[in-house]
Amino acid sequence: MSINGNTISNLCLMTGNANPELAQKIADHIGVKIFDTFVGRFNNGESQVMISDSIRGKDIFIVQPTSQPVNDNLMDLLIMTDACKRASAHSITAVVPYYAYARQDRKTRGREPISAKLVANLMVAAGMSRVLTVDLHAGQIQGFFDIPVDHLKAAPVLADYFRGRDFGDDLVVVSPDLGGVTRARELADYLKAPIAIIEKRRPRPGEAEVMSIIGEVDGKIALMVDDIVDTAGSLCEGAKALKKLGAKKVIAACTHAVLSKNAVEKIGNSAMEQLVITDTIALPPEKHSPKITVLSMAPAIGDVILNIQAHRSVSLLFK
């Protein structure tokens, strides 16, 4: 996919420190160089941003997932946006493949914040013109913004990968909880497979307990799908339950690999044979594992950026 030279010459791709590898892959895909921008720290820990050359009238795309360290990466994004706004950029699109605080999208008890809405307010106040993100934990977060939000799905990328595997008629796509049924159905439709659902409860935050499984998994290859793998408790417990009920193989696919605490160790010791993730969050060397396969969202994100820049439909790409 390409756009005319005059239009792409006005496109300026920047990156923060959260995932420069992904930014470089996007740049390679769309055929531009990453604009020279310094993002660092003053001695007192405050964010420091310096843009090397004029960006007056440019269309800026800032690649910065708000992954760990979450608050540092979020603040860097806000300050980069402010710097671009004050430098008279024509438009500023925040490319936020992983949107932090998305699981705090509503009040579940009294006196709780709705942090996902607060983050949206901060982004708009900083001066963003548009947000491009991938697999929001709750789709309604798009409504927290008073600017356009392009919500890209990872399901087509995951489906392309799994279509290359010889599963025959044995595949069943499994939702690890009731809230993820729509996500599981979407991938199942791509793969033309049935679905099953794990019913679980959370006795404490970050912990999951399997209660029952709805659907047929005996003798099947179970593909669990979720948007975020954090502590990996849900996936590991789900894999154990699926094997007990006769699944001959358990694999998993998750868009955002947070992998906090000892998640990688738990995955290595689990009944899962493979975990497929995307590069919306950078995977540091200490989190590499023979069980983990990384797919890149760069081509999909790059195509969306090109369509935004050329004022073409973005929704067609999501299909």
As annotated, the active-site residues are 200
Distance of alpha carbon 124 from alpha carbon 226, whole angstroms? 28
Give the bridge partners for 12, in sequence order: 60
What does the block give as tokens for 279?
């590069």
Instruction: Count CB atoms within 10 A of the CB of residue 45.
Output: 7
Sign of CA dihedral 309, 311, 315, 319: negative
